[in-house]
Amino acid sequence: MATINAVTFDLWQTLILDNRELGLQRAQVRLDGARDLLAEQGIHHDPDHIREAYRGCYRACRAVRNNNADVSFREQVEIFINLIDEGLVGRLPEPTVAEIERIYAESFFDFPPRFHEATKETLESVHQMGLRIGLISNTGMTPGYTFRQFLEQHGLAAYFQTMTFSDEVLLAKPSDEIFLMTIGALDSTPADAIHVGDHVSNDVVGANRVGMKSVWIRGFYEPEDPDDPDSKADAEVDDLSGVASAIRELISG
């Protein structure tokens, strides 16, 4: 009989809550920073051209993630720069490329998302249950190292025995591998672990397919295929505040 000994959490819209407005504000910081740094090198482009390069980078990275893979954060930044002007990365001084990367990453701190009001309480509850805790996150436009710093700043990083970020392992949810490597790092097995997240395809389907139990936080995404048995979570909650109780029920059931 399986004995639950580990829980993994998604990050976006699970432990932290983001919105489109904040994303657009971060994007503007990245665009303005790149334009100003390129101007210092005597390279001038219309803001709309730089914005389209940014959108092209988003589309290119999304296509990779749609195949359950990811690109490193540095590669993402280089894709953006080279879409501004083909081969531009190779013509820029390395300090300029590094500064664009820094601004790209730190825009997250300029317009940070908020933690769910139940984030710390939930992590503490799971910790008090004696369960090992992991994090599995597709990173998008922000690198894993920025998320680590953000969690450390808010006194939450210590709750996690391991954190897996897609840009660092070059894998994206719902790939089997990103779940299995995280469970392995927790010295657990799929049958002994629960995953918590808001995204049906990435979190519920991904966890179910490797044999984990799943807790779905409703309200952000709906199943793409309601008839797919892997889209059915073992427990459903309205928000993060209900997760600890759902985990207790799964353990006792």
pLDDT single digits (tens) 151-160:
999 999 999 9
pLDDT single digits (tens) 14-65:
999 999 999 999 999 999 999 999 999 999 999 999 999 999 999 999 999 9
Q: Is the pLDDT of residue 1 over 70?
A: no
- pLDDT on residue 7: 98
Helical segments of the chain, H only: 20-40, 47-65, 73-84, 88-91, 94-110, 119-128, 144-153, 166-169, 176-185, 206-210, 243-252
Task: State the architecture of 6-18+113-252 in CATH terms.
Answer: 3-Layer(aba) Sandwich (3.40)
Domains of the chain: which residue ranges?
6-18+113-252, 20-110
Among positive and negative, which fits the CA dihedral 128, 134, 140, 142? positive
